[in-house]
Amino acid sequence: MKTLEAQVITSEDLLKHWQGHRALTRRLIELFPEKDFFEFSIGGMRPFAKLIDELLAIAVPGLKGIVTKETAPFSEGEEKLIFKAQYLEKWDEATAEINEYWSQLSIEDFSENFNLFGQYEFPIIQNILYFIDNEVHHRGQAYVYLRALNIEPPFFWER
């Protein structure tokens, strides 16, 4: 018989935390000038559009795999988006899909192992924390880009 440890954060609060990060990332997408969203780079880092391609390829496909127990390989940038507005639309669609898949998780699921994208065998909670950490990491790059473009980004805590 498996027992659960005391819970530090509820599933609902973790989703709220993640969606708060996603809302802030969305605001950064909005702030980028169209051309710079696709082209601006510093020090060999990818433009923000490419970073968003990665985030879109991880969040919903990863969470869907967790919920359906299917380990599809990681696939990034198959859909060629050419306007920032398309990215914002995809971001909003992904936000709704995250909520949908999240509602299908049980508290017991978080401690189960899952082979994310057939490559990363960790407890589901660790995979989800990776989704959030990766987004925060790439959003940090976007903050640097915006400041280099003389655009004031929102405070990082405004989630």
Residue list, annotated binding site for a divalent metal cation: 138
The burial of 113, by beta-carbon neighbours within 10 Å (0-12 exposed, 13-18 middle, 19 or more buried), is given as exposed
Tokens of 80: 């060629």
**Tell me, what DSSP letter sits at residue 41?**
-
Tokens of 27: 């605001």
Q: Per-residue DSSP letters for 126-155?
A: HHHHHHHHHHHHHHHHHHHHHHHTT--PPP
What residue type is 79 in one-letter code?
E
Contact 29, 91 (CB under 8 A): yes
Which residues define the annotated binding site?
138
